[in-house]
A = this chain, B = another copy of it.
Amino acid sequence: MQYYPSPEEVIEMDVLIQAVESAFVDHGTGRSVMPPKVYVDLPGGDFRTMPSYIPSLQTAGVKIVNVHPDNRKAGLPTVMAVTVLLDPPTGRPIAVLNATTLTDLRTGASAAVATRALAQKKKGTLGIIGSGRQANSGIRAIPLVFEPEEVLVWSRTRSNAERFAKNHSHLPVRVSDIETVAGADVLLTVTPSKVPLIKDKWISDGAHINAIGADAPGKQEIDPDILQRAFVIVDDMDQATHSGEVNMPIQKGIYSPSRIAGTLGEVLTGAVRRPSPDEITVFDSTGLSIMDLAAAHLAIGKGKVIDLPFMENTGMSDDPGVRE
């Protein structure tokens, strides 16, 4: 068994986008196994357990990830993660990865996959609502599939948006008001909001929205009226209806799961067709274990590795009597 302390160092974003896209294709064709993630509440937050198996990668495993919104005060990230990979034919644990930064990267990569598959335009304005870690990975990933003539960013705390713009000054980024940002051709929402921030009337015709922030029951970022008139694609039907952008509108009875057009995997395989050019598209992302496994798989055998004794301590056999 090996530990990977910084697997993100060997990950190229363009390669990750392809890997995540392949994982979605496997998901869309039923060639992966992924139960819905399981939530356990903790004081000040929760943790999620995310198992899956991707036969095409010969990879199985589990990501374990917390969300503790007040961690910043203690100098810790809100979200930390480890991924454990198993060898499918034997079940042997083969790797433990620090998946904290990988989680950001694969989330950004999934927004790029959805943007490439769903956005009507190939270039235009990119709007980002939020300025945290997922905003950082989004602005790294989306420009690889959508040419941003301008990047507009809004954050509840204006100084955070300004810092974000400064940190990405290699792109034409500027801070703007939420209404203007929301009118972008491609929109990325990456906030922890529990109330809709984005009004329906702000959205441009034919816009594509990556609704990333809502990933737990009770969270939502965009006006349910947007969902009512949009072509809504989810990452996974079970997870999205439970904890995605659609979860609150469904719970309130103002949106029906039957209105969801399909999954991103189904769009990628052609099982679900893209809508007409002036229709708004929404990618409702909750984050899938298969994305984490695809990202982890890219890192195996590369970069910093610490060998961990494992098999030496298990007896190498369960032949009766060996242990006593």
| Chain A interface (Cβ < 8 Å from any Cβ of B) | 1, 3, 5-6, 33, 35, 38-47, 49, 51-53, 60-62, 64, 66-68, 71-72, 74-82, 84, 86, 88-93, 96, 98, 100-101, 104, 131-133, 135-136, 140, 155, 160, 163-164, 166-168, 306, 308-321, 323-324
The reply to whether B62 and A80 form a contact with Cβ atoms under 8 Å apart is no
Residues of B within 8 A of A92 (CB): 66, 76, 80
Min CB–CB distance A306 → chain B (angstroms): 6
Residues of B within 8 A of A40 (CB): 33, 35, 51-53, 60
Min CB–CB distance A221 → chain B (angstroms): 17
CB pairs A–B below 8 angstroms (14 shown): A3-B96, A33-B41, A35-B40, A42-B89, A61-B64, A68-B90, A76-B317, A79-B318, A84-B84, A101-B315, A131-B320, A131-B321, A132-B320, A306-B308
- Complex CA–CA separation, A46 to B33 (angstroms): 11
With contacts A77-B316, A136-B321, A163-B321 known, is A44 near B90, CB below 8 A? yes
Residues of B within 8 A of A135 (CB): 320
Min CB–CB distance A200 → chain B (angstroms): 27
Residues of B within 8 A of A101 (CB): 313-315, 323
Across the interface, name the chain B residue whose C-beta is closest to A44: B89
